[in-house]
Amino acid sequence: MVKRNPNMAKLTAGYLFPEINRRKREYLQKNPGVKIISLGIGNTTEPLTPHVVEGLHHEVDRLSTREGYSGYGDEQGISDFRAQLAAKLYGGIVKGDEVFISDGAKCDIARLQTMFGSEVSIAVQDPSYPVYVDGSVIAGVTGSYDQSRSQFDKIVYMKCCLENDFFPDLDNQPRTDLIYFCSPNNPTGAVASREQLKKLVDFARKNRSIIIFDAAYSEYISDKSLPKTIFEIDGAREVAIEVSSFSKPSGFTGVRLGWTVVPDQLKFEDGTPVRNDWNRIMTTLFNGASNIAQYGGMAALEDEGLAEMKSLVSYYMENAAIIKKALDARGLVTCGGINAPYVWAHFPGRKSWDVFSEILEKCQIVTTPGSGFGPAGEGFVRFSAFGHREDFVEAIKRLEAL
């Protein structure tokens, strides 16, 4: 018999989104034929846009000829694409060879967790995208279990709530090796201001920590005063890695394409550039993003592609406005939904899973319970803005039953 990896046994429950699906299926078994509206998982619904499709087709056609065919490519991605990405999405503040193309942000987070290993301590925003904690636990980042707090001692939860504007009280946080930070935030929809990110960078510099900045929703920022990347902040190049993705801005959730920026200046304690180890991880554990997806990504960075990205983002953001308005009208306190595709609704004194069940039963709408993102998410429910417009129009009618 093979011994089970003990870290797997340390995970608290199943991964959040399959659990939500399980409950949805269970509801459908009991109520066959009911049309459920899914505002749960942040999964894109609108078709790929024409210019991007052209880019994908073009590469498929090229691969179907003997002259044009190519097999494995550079593990780090097509160098032209890396340079384009640095220029178009970062305005040149990062270099092409600091950008590593991948099959998505989630996969890069897992590989970063492999790179940093089990010896590190981590801090996460509470609530946060469950992969930061679950992936770290799988990688062995636990330490001993503190029964009184129901938490592992190598994992620090930085409370982000209404009272602190969803930005952690850094003056009272202990030092950790890594700090996961997501802005625009999943699930709260909060976007850190320039001043807040400066505080975060200064905190990391003081503590010699590394920030893993998740910018998967950066294209949803329309307010020009808000930073879209951590690298807009002075000093970030010495303390931050950024992961990001084409999933949400270009609808590549199924196509799969993302990237990670590791700046040259970022070093480990012994002076080794983090970039070297990241290159070693990518060349060893990854074989390059699909060449078809990369050509789709390149098309997305051309002027027509960027214009399409803008209109796709606007479409989802109108959904966000529709749902936010309806929830506000019901007297609920909501956050997010302005520069982020999630609306975070407060149900004071209630358990998130109870609210989830009530919304499912009364409105046939699937949401995501806030407690699935961390202890401070209790009492909240997340509404995703990813869906067809007609479903949002229908959803707000159904919410009247709440």
Of positions 49, 188, 247, 371, contacts ligand PGU by CB under 6 A = 247
Q: Distances in Å between the alpha carbon of 6 and those of 9, 10, 142, 155?
A: 5, 7, 11, 17
Where in 292-311 is the site for ligand PGU (CB under 6 A)?
Answer: none
- Whole-number minimum distance, CB 236 to ligand PGU, in Å? 18
Residue 97 in contact with residue 111, Cβ under 8 Å?
no
Of positions 105, 179, 197, 282, contacts ligand PGU by CB under 6 A = 105
On the 0-12 / 13-18 / 19+ scale of CB atoms within 10 A, 326 is buried
Q: Which of 181, 308, 193 is nearest to 246 (CA)?
A: 308
- In the chain, count of helices (H) and strands (E)? 13, 15
- 24 or 65: whose CB is closer to ligand PGU? 24
The partner residues of 49 in beta bridges, in order of sequence, read: none
Stretch of 100-108, 164-172, 312-320, 327-335 lying at the interface with ligand PGU (CB under 6 A): 100-108
Of positions 136, 229, 253, 260, contacts ligand PGU by CB under 6 A = 253
- Whole-number minimum distance, CB 130 to ligand PGU, in Å? 7
258 binds ligand PGU (CB under 6 A): yes
343 binds ligand PGU (CB under 6 A): no
Angle at CA of residue 266, ends 156 and 205, nearest 5°:
50
Helix segments in 208-340, DSSP class H: 247-250, 274-285, 291-301, 303-329
Stretch of 80-88, 140-148, 193-201, 245-253 lying at the interface with ligand PGU (CB under 6 A): 245-253
291 binds ligand PGU (CB under 6 A): no
- 40 or 55: whose CB is closer to ligand PGU? 40
Residue 391, helix vs strand vs coil: helix
Residue 5, helix vs strand vs coil: coil
The partner residues of 182 in beta bridges, in order of sequence, read: 214
Give the Cα separation of 92 and 89 in Å (integer).
Answer: 8
Task: With CB under 6 A as the rule, give the number of residues binding ligand PGU.
Answer: 16
- Whole-number minimum distance, CB 41 to ligand PGU, in Å? 4
Rounded to the nearest 10°, the torsion over CA 168, 172, 175, 181 is 0
Q: Which two tokens stand for residue 155?
A: 């994992």
DSSP letter at 351 equals: -
- 85 or 149: whose CB is closer to ligand PGU? 85
Q: Are strands 210-214 and 151-152 parallel, antiparallel or unpaired?
A: unpaired
- 1 or 189: whose CB is closer to ligand PGU? 189
- 216 or 366: whose CB is closer to ligand PGU? 216
- 41 or 63: whose CB is closer to ligand PGU? 41
Binding mask 41-70 for ligand PGU (x = CB under 6 A): xx----------------------------
Give the Cα separation of 70 and 291 in Å (integer).
Answer: 8
Binding mask 149-188 for ligand PGU (x = CB under 6 A): ---------------------------------x---x--
Rounded to the nearest 10°, the torsion over CA 205, 207, 208, 211 is -70
- Whole-number minimum distance, CB 198 to ligand PGU, in Å? 21
On the 0-12 / 13-18 / 19+ scale of CB atoms within 10 A, 256 is middle
- 49 or 253: whose CB is closer to ligand PGU? 253
Of positions 59, 98, 214, 242, contacts ligand PGU by CB under 6 A = 214
Instruction: State the residues that interact with ligand PGU by CB under 6 A.
Output: 17, 41-42, 104-107, 129, 182, 186, 214, 216, 245, 247, 253, 258
